[in-house]
Each structure stands twice: as structure tokens, then as C-alpha cells.
């Protein structure tokens, strides 16, 4: 299977699918076993890394990976040293740097920045973290860490804990875990849950259902004794309580995340949640691996580091080998066959819906209209094609019949995707000559 279509760019973990992930993790094992075999694989190629937010692991492990493969490196480690401080747009910077290198790795504080860089750069782009939207290569590192200890992911239960509202690593990992059949236990810190629309998209894409589980330890982590569990349809675990929640019997991995203060997050009440040394003896955690993308703060005290279940420094150690594998997959397409990533629906720029409602969207920072895309499945959900924010669409027209309907009308489901014309307001539809088609 041709690979270049796979990895023309890696912007979102939503593009992962089971075949790609299984194939990729096999390749990681191969590179880890024989790294010396790849020493000169990318000699003569040039990789640029641009980090507009601080980073230790991601930038240095990408750069270590490039150097170990023999590639040359261009690096902007501090945005204050680039002409971005003179007001150069992200689009222009991406276009220029894209003309110097063969592949771009970019970190940016705005949601959707990677997709904009990709549109302008003219070369493959890897998202090294964009706002709170995603960190897809961290997900590959996380999955590779778990794959070292597990034969498979199906039937495993992984808790995602902490600042789910602002963190990008847990969001990306949710896409990856559900593609591999793992159950995902949601353990948001009080007041720091992710939005229901995101969770719904993950469930629709993976065919998962939402359940609830109970365990006394959950109260210490989230403030309440029960938690949401995303699980494949058809699975029923544990004993059902009267309210429909089942007893959580085992946790296979716990993924902790830090409070994202730089994105305005603040802990509610007595402080931020975390793993405490006295909790390590709880039978729920007997075989539980502890992961964290790092950097950590108070959520994992250093006393836990020597526990054999702690894997967060192993995660960091695997960063270069995972990123070597990714570079090989993107720049050695002919010799590295992998199943393709799933393409996200392209954004529709012809009928922009105005300003994106997400204040941190890259379209707001760059003064661009927000092209829309459809969320997966049969539902008519319109998202910003850059940052995935749900757009305030109230009416939908059919470009063929020239009729328009309220968004929730069954008639909207009958309109072919290529004929959809979303509107924020009734008057906007009328102004374009659409006629009322009923609710």
C-alpha cells in the first residue's frame, strides 16, 4: 500500500485507525531493536522544527530522531528569535520555512495551527502540539509505552485523569485508545472536564457507548465516586448497581496530566488532583501502569518514581525511537509500507460561516474566516475545519433544491454532503435566495 498518502501530514489523532496504529507500533519495535540499521536512512534530507511554545521532550526527541537518522536540522527553539516577533503571519512563516526543508515539525499555542501550517508549507507537516487541540505524536509515544507491557489493547481499561478541559495529550490519546479497543475511564479534575461534543465525536467514530463505573478511589481523584467509561458496544463489565453503574474492578493504566496553567486553568477547591503514595496499595491499582506525558507537577510525587508500575520516564525515553519511526514513515515512503491514516473531511472554504466561536482558534489569530467541515457519521454537525469547534449553525440549505430547513429537521439528513449549505441565521439563507422548506 502506498505510504505517502498516509503521512503527507500528521495533524490530529482523529486520523488514526486500527490498521495504521498496529502497523506503526510494529515498526517502532523494529526500529527500537535495530536503531543502528537506520543510521543514515535520511542523509541528505532536511527537517525543520519550529516551537512557538516551550518544550523539552517533544523538540529534543524530534531533533534526536532526525540526527540519529542522519538528517540535517533547522531549528527555531525560541519564537523570540524568529521574525514572528516582527508580526510575520503564521501562513507566511510556514510558506518560507517550507521552502527550506523536506519536512516540518511545528508547535503552536493556537488550536488548529498545524492544519494552517500544512496548507501553506507545501511539504509534510507534523503537529508537535497545537493549543489544546491535539498532540498526536505524544499519543504514539503513549501507545508504544503501553505496547511494551501489553499484548493488545482490547479489554484494557485506561483512566485519563486531570485537566481534560485544557490538556491536549489526553484528548489525542482518547482517539488512539478507542481505535485499539481499550476502555477509557474519564477522571476529570473538578471543573476541568472536556466538552460533551468532543466525547460524542470520539464515541461516534469508534462505535463506543457511554457507561458509568463506581469505586471509592474515584472520589479522591474527581470528587465523586462514579465516573464515565467509554467502552466498545456489547461489553458489560462487573456487577450492575441499582443506578446502572458497575463496579470498577481493575485499572490497567492511569494517565495523569498536569494543570494547564498556561491556558488559564485553575484548580477548584483544595488543590489539584493526583496519585498519592498511600493509594498505591489499593487492589484497583495492583497491575496498573502509571503514565504521564510530563512535565509533571504535584500530581505525581517523586516517591512514586521507583514503583515498578511508574512508566513516565520510559515514555520520555521512547520519544526519539517513536519519532524516528515517524520520520522514516514520512520520508522513506517507498520502503516503509503502512496502512494509510484516515483522512478527515476537507474544510469547505466556499461558504464560510464567519468568525470561529473558539477564541483560541488559529483563524482568529490570523484573521481568517472559519471554513467548516462535517463531523463523522450521519449527524449533521458542523465544525471549524481548523480547530474542530462546533459552529453555531441554525439552518441548513440544499444547494440543489434551494430549500432550507432548521438544523434538527429530518430533511437535513436527506441532503447530500456535497449539497449542504449551512447558515447561522434564517435571513442569511433568504439573502442567498433559499426558500423555506419546513421543519
**Active site (catalytic) residues:** 57-58, 86, 107, 135
CB of 436 to ligand CP, least distance (A): 50
CB of 241 to ligand CP, least distance (A): 37
Instruction: Provide the sign of the torsion angle of the four alpha carbons 415, 420, 425, 431, taken in this order.
Output: negative
Residue ranges of E strands in 339-430: 372-374, 382-384, 395-398, 403-406, 420-423
d(CA 405, CA 295): 49
Residue with Cβ nearer ligand CP (138 or 157) = 138
Strand partners for 107 = 51
Q: Which residues bind ligand CP (CB under 6 A)?
A: 55-58, 129, 138, 293-295
Phi, psi of 99 (to 5 degrees): -85, -5
Longest dimension (CA), the chain: 68
Residue with Cβ nearer ligand CP (135 or 373) = 135
CB of 138 to ligand CP, least distance (A): 5
d(CA 143, CA 327): 17
- Residue 232 in grid coordinates: 466498545
Element (H, E) at 49: strand 46-51
Residue with Cβ nearer ligand CP (28 or 213) = 28
Residue with Cβ nearer ligand CP (318 or 375) = 318
CB of 129 to ligand CP, least distance (A): 6
CB of 181 to ligand CP, least distance (A): 25
Task: Classify the phi-psi angles of 234: left when phi > 0, otherwise alpha if psi is within -120 to 50, otherwise beta.
Answer: left
Phi, psi of 113 (to 5 degrees): -60, -35
Residue with Cβ nearer ligand CP (56 or 99) = 56
Say how many residues make up the chain.
439
Q: How far is CA 80 from CA 88, 411, 433, in A?
A: 12, 52, 49
d(CA 142, CA 102): 26
Residue with Cβ nearer ligand CP (138 or 348) = 138
CB of 126 to ligand CP, least distance (A): 13
Residue ranges of E strands in 288-410: 289-291, 372-374, 382-384, 395-398, 403-406
- Comparing CA positions, the residue from 48, 46, 3, 45 lying closest to residue 24 is 3
What lies within 8 Å, CB to CB, of 36 at 6+ separation is: none
Residue with Cβ nearer ligand CP (258 or 421) = 258
CB of 87 to ligand CP, least distance (A): 26
Assign 3-class secondary structure to 103-121: EEEEEECCECHHHHHHHHH
Half-sphere exposure of 70 (CA within 13 A, CB side): 13
Residue with Cβ nearer ligand CP (25 or 294) = 294
DSSP of 174-240: HHHHHHTT-EEEEEEPTT-PPPHHHHHHHHHHHTEEEEEEE-HHHHHHHSSSEEEEEEETT---SPB
CB of 170 to ligand CP, least distance (A): 12
Amino acid at each position: 500500500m502506498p505510504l505517502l498518502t498516509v503521512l503527507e501530514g500528521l495533524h490530529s489523532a482523529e486520523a488514526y485507525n486500527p490498521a495504521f496504529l498496529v502497523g506503526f507500533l510494529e515498526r517502532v519495535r523494529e526500529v527500537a531493536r535495530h536503531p543502528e540499521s537506520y543510521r543514515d536512512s535520511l542523509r541528505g534530507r532536511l527537517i525543520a522544527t519550529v516551537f512557538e511554545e516551550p518544550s523539552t521532550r517533544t523538540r529534543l526527541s524530534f531533533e534526536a530522531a532526525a540526527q540519529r537518522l542522519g538528517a540535517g536540522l533547522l531549528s527555531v527553539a525560541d519564537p523570540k528569535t524568529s521574525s514572528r516577533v516582527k508580526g510575520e503571519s503564521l501562513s507566511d512563516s510556514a510558506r518560507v520555512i517550507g521552502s527550506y526543508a523536506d519536512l516540518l515539525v511545528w508547535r503552536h499555542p493556537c488550536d488548529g495551527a498545524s492544519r494552517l501550517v500544512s496548507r501553506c508549507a507545501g511539504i509534510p507537516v507534523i503537529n508537535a502540539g497545537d493549543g489544546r487541540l491535539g498532540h498526536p505524536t505524544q499519543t504514539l509515544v503513549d501507545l508504544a509505552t503501553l505496547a511494551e507491557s501489553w499484548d493488545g489493547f482490547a479489554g484494557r481499561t485506561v483512566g485519563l485523569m486531570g485537566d481534560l478541559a485544557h490538556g491536549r495529550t489526553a484528548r489525542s490519546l482518547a482517539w488512539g485508545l478507542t481505535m485499539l479497543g481499550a476502555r477509557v475511564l474519564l477522571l476529570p479534575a473538578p471543573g476541568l472536564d472536556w466538552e460533551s461534543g468532543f466525547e460524542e465525536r470520539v464515541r461516534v467514530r469508534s462505535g463506543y457507548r457511554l457507561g458509568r463505573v463506581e469505586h471509592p478511589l474515584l472520589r479522591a481523584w474527581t470528587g465523586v465516586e462514579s465516573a464515565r467509561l467509554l467502552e466498545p458496544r456489547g461489553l458489560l463489565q462487573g456487577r450492575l448497581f441499582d443506578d446502572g453503574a458497575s463496579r470498577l474492578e481493575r485499572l490497567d493504566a492511569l494517565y495523569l496530566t498536569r494543570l494547564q496553567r498556561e491556558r488559564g486553568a485553575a484548580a477548584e477547591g483544595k488543590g489539584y488532583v493526583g496519585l498519592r503514595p498511600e493509594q498505591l496499595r489499593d487492589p484497583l491499582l495492583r497491575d496498573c501502569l502509571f503514565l504521564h506525558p510530563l512535565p509533571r507537577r504535584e500530581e505525581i510525587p517523586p516517591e512514586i518514581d521507583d514503583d515498578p508500575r511508574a512508566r513516565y520516564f520510559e515514555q520520555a525515553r521512547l520519544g526519539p525511537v517513536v519519532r524516528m519511526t515517524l520520520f522514516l514513515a514520512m520520508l522513506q515512503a517507498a520502503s516503509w509500507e503502512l496502512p494509510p491514516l484516515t483522512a478527515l473531511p476537507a474544510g469547505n472554504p466556499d461558504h464560510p460561516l464567519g468568525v470561529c466561536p473558539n477564541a483560541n482558534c488559529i483563524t482568529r489569530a490570523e484573521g481568517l474566516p472559519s471554513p467548516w467541515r462535517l463531523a463523522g457519521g450521519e449527524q449533521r454537525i458542523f465544525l471549524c475545519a481548523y480547530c474542530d469547534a462546533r459552529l453555531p449553525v441554525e439552518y441548513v440549505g440544499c444547494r440543489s433544491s434551494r430549500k432550507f430547513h432548521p438544523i434538527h429537521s429530518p430533511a437535513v439528513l436527506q441532503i447530500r454532503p456535497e449539497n449542504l449549505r449551512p447558515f447561522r441565521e434564517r435571513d442569511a439563507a433568504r439573502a442567498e435566495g433559499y426558500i423555506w422548506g419546513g421543519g
